[in-house]
Amino acid sequence: MKKTLLSIGFIVCWNVLVCQDNEKELAINGLFVSNLNFAIKDEKIGASATPFYEDKKWGGDAWLDINAYYRNWQFSTRLDGYHHSILLNPEDVYTKYGIGYFNVRYSGDNFNIEGGHFYGQIGNGLIMRSYRDLNLLIDNSILGVKGEVYLPRNQKLMLFGGKPKDLFHLEPLWNAGGEYRNDWKIGSVYLSTGAGGSFKFLDQSMINDLVDEVQYYFPEDRVELYRSSQAITFFNDLSAGVFNWALEYSMKFHDPFYNSESLRTLGSGENVLGRFETKTGKAFYTQFGLDFEKISFQLEGKYIDRFINKSDPFSFNYRNDLNFIPPMARVQTYRLKARYIPATQFLGEKSLQMGITYPLKKHLFQWSNTLIYKLDNSRLYEEYDLQWEHRDESSKWVGGLMYQDYNQSIYEGKGGNLRIQSWIPYVEFYKRIKGDQSLKIESQSLLTEQDKGNLFFVGMEYALSSQWTFNLSCMYEQKASLFYPSGGFFYRGGNGLYGLNFVKQLEGYVCSGGICRYEPAFSGVKVSVQTRF
């Protein structure tokens, strides 16, 4: 409460000062986003037995962003509110209000400096990426200072230091580092080359917590602990006509992390999975593209060995990641194509993704193929997807077939060697009727004998005008004879987007690092508000 009042006071005082000085140069804008969920208990699909369904019956999240600009200054703050929210833990509810973010930034001719919470990235983000994705409750901003200096000959230096945050508290460590980048060229070959480093300095309380835990390990499992850890990276982006190639190689030293796949001996003589380690980590990422007029090729590769980088070594939550290594599989927009997603395996993974795009008059053919293996060469995930698209002035057809081989044991933390092999045919039709009126119909089937068996999905979206959009969809789970109908509308008016939807959603497991989080089925009404001012 105190923090909220301070924030509001800060904004008001600043406004008064600035308005006295020069009102014309002042600009203020903001964004309000809110999601409300209302529970409709449905035991058949498993939407029950949690505080949200049994007790609270409703919950929501809201974020209010306010930005003010004055000459070279920018002031930003964000007020966060969670009331009986199921975003943090769907099996529980979370209620808290406060300042999620504040930042003051000054931009000069060849430099800028900011204080407060800031976001940033080194290279492609392998050793450091601070960002926010509030719909997943990710905001790993750092509270401290960041500066960027633009040097002659397209050189840039970025330095930062501060404490990473999680929700409304700061983690007990300091994170500091920087990046040097140089954009240069050799003839018609354009390059962007750089290096970066990120250092963590653990607070004594964090060291004590770690020692308290590892001091009970047996001698053969002893862990060397360090007060600080270091991560370095080197990266290069190259572009020459139709050819482009990016690569980054990173290493990490002395960083404590929990290896959930490593065995630890117990006093009973038995062993269990999971122990702390500080072994060196390595990560390599590359992307290669050839973009001809008639056809284009893309190749992406990744190698990860012990590259967990968290602000809290005890945490299993993605919210505490200080870096970002993208999953190798493509982002899927169709519901059933996105049912089995191979999350990045930070402990060890080598993966490859290939893509070919071939346009032919009004047709577009796309082939993509993803292969993901563990470091011991055991297969984690395979995906083969052939897609055809046809466009004319008022309509679009998309059709395709995808084959997936997904290691459920690894990705969902289930024992044994459970694999899901599925075929996913899919089709979409879009038609612009007249003016702003349009209709989109899509359908997919996920055909498999494993897990929940065959799933079928059909969805429709009708835009009546630029303001009103209605949607209706249904999923059918054949093995259990269950239907998951959803429907609702969105209204776009003024500066806002408002939605009201009835949703029934299939449950699923989300696991990371040996710890599983169950995302229960959802049954209820979702109200969304997004408005700018």
Partner 1 sequence: MNKQISNLVAFFLLFFIILTSCDDKVEYDLIRPESGPQKVLVEEVSGVRCPNCPDGTRLLDALQKEFDSSLVVVTFHAGSFSFPYSESKYDFKTDQTVELLQKLGSPLGYPAAIIQRTKASQGDGYPQLSNTWSSSISNALSVEPKIKINLETVITADEHVKLIYNLLFLEKMDGPVFTNIYLLEDGLIDYQADLRDDNGVVEKYEHNHVLKQIITPINGEILGNSFDILETYTDSITLDLKSYDNIEVPQNTSLIVFITRDDKVLQVEKAYNYP
Q: How far apart are CA 261 and CA 263, in angstroms?
A: 7
Q: How far apart are CA 313 and CA 274, in angstroms?
A: 13
100 versus 520: smaller Cβ distance to partner 1: 520
Determine, following the binding rule CB under 8 A, whether residue 236 of this chain makes contact with partner 1: no
Q: Which of 287, 374, 514, 531 binds partner 1 (CB under 8 A)?
A: 514
Q: Which of 106, 115, 203, 209 binds partner 1 (CB under 8 A)?
A: 209
Pick out residues in 486-505 that bind partner 1 (CB under 8 A). Answer: none
Pick out residues in 421-460 that bind partner 1 (CB under 8 A). Answer: none
DSSP SS3 for 266:
coil
Binding segment (CB under 8 A) for partner 1, from list 12-20, 307-315, 434-442, 473-481: 307-315
Binding segment (CB under 8 A) for partner 1, from list 150-158, 345-353, 430-438, 498-506: 150-158
Smallest distance, Å, CB 193 to partner 1? Answer: 7
136 versus 272: smaller Cβ distance to partner 1: 272
Please say whether the beta carbons of 442 and 474 come within 8 A: no
DSSP state of 136: G
Residue 106 sits at the vertex; the CA angle it makes with 101 and 110, to the nearest 5 degrees, is 135
Determine, following the binding rule CB under 8 A, whether residue 317 of this chain makes contact with partner 1: yes
Pick out residues in 42-81 that bind partner 1 (CB under 8 A). Answer: 46, 49-51, 54-55
Q: Which of 81, 98, 274, 399 binds partner 1 (CB under 8 A)?
A: 274
Q: How far apart are CA 231 and CA 335, in angstroms?
A: 37
Q: How far apart are CA 98 and CA 75, in angstroms?
A: 17
Q: How far apart are CA 428 and CA 398, in angstroms?
A: 5
Determine, following the binding rule CB under 8 A, whether residue 232 of this chain makes contact with partner 1: yes
Determine, following the binding rule CB under 8 A, whether residue 203 of this chain makes contact with partner 1: no
Residue 142, exposed/middle/buried by CB under 10 A (0-12, 13-18, 19+)? buried
Determine, following the binding rule CB under 8 A, whether residue 517 of this chain makes contact with partner 1: yes
Question: Is residue 211 within a helix (H) or strand (E), and if so which, with residue range?
Answer: helix 204-214
Q: How far apart are CA 15 and CA 446, in angstroms?
A: 55
Binding segment (CB under 8 A) for partner 1, from list 2-10, 29-37, 213-221, 335-343: 213-221
Smallest distance, Å, CB 341 to partner 1? Answer: 18
Determine, following the binding rule CB under 8 A, whether residue 243 of this chain makes contact with partner 1: no
What x/- string results for residues 90 through 119 when contact with partner 1 is judged by CB under 8 A? -xx---------------------------
Residue listed under structure tokens 């897990």: 451
What x/- string results for residues 363 through 402 when contact with partner 1 is judged by CB under 8 A? ----------------------------------------
- # chain residues binding partner 1, by CB under 8 A: 73
Q: Which of 195, 375, 503, 529 binds partner 1 (CB under 8 A)?
A: 195
Residue 109, exposed/middle/buried by CB under 10 A (0-12, 13-18, 19+)? exposed
Please say whether the beta carbons of 520 and 52 come within 8 A: no
Tell me the sheet residues that pair with 498. 491, 529
What x/- string results for residues 247 through 266 when contact with partner 1 is judged by CB under 8 A? ------xx---x-------x
Tokens read off for 159: 């330095």
Pick out residues in 161-190 that bind partner 1 (CB under 8 A). Answer: 178, 180, 182, 184
Smallest distance, Å, CB 164 to partner 1? Answer: 14
Q: How far apart are CA 77 and CA 79, in angstroms?
A: 7
Please say whether the beta carbons of 65 and 74 come within 8 A: no
Determine, following the binding rule CB under 8 A, whether residue 406 of this chain makes contact with partner 1: no
Binding segment (CB under 8 A) for partner 1, from list 84-92, 241-249, 382-390, 457-465: 84-92
Q: How far apart are CA 34 and CA 315, in angstroms?
A: 27
Binding segment (CB under 8 A) for partner 1, from list 101-109, 115-123, 238-246, 314-322: 314-322
- HEC profile of 74-129: EEEEEEEEEEEECCCCCCCCEEEEEEEEEEEEEECCCEEEEEEEECEECCCCCCCE
Q: Which of 27, 189, 211, 360 binds partner 1 (CB under 8 A)?
A: 211
Q: Which of 418, 497, 527, 529 binds partner 1 (CB under 8 A)?
A: 418
Q: Which of 3, 136, 218, 533 binds partner 1 (CB under 8 A)?
A: 218
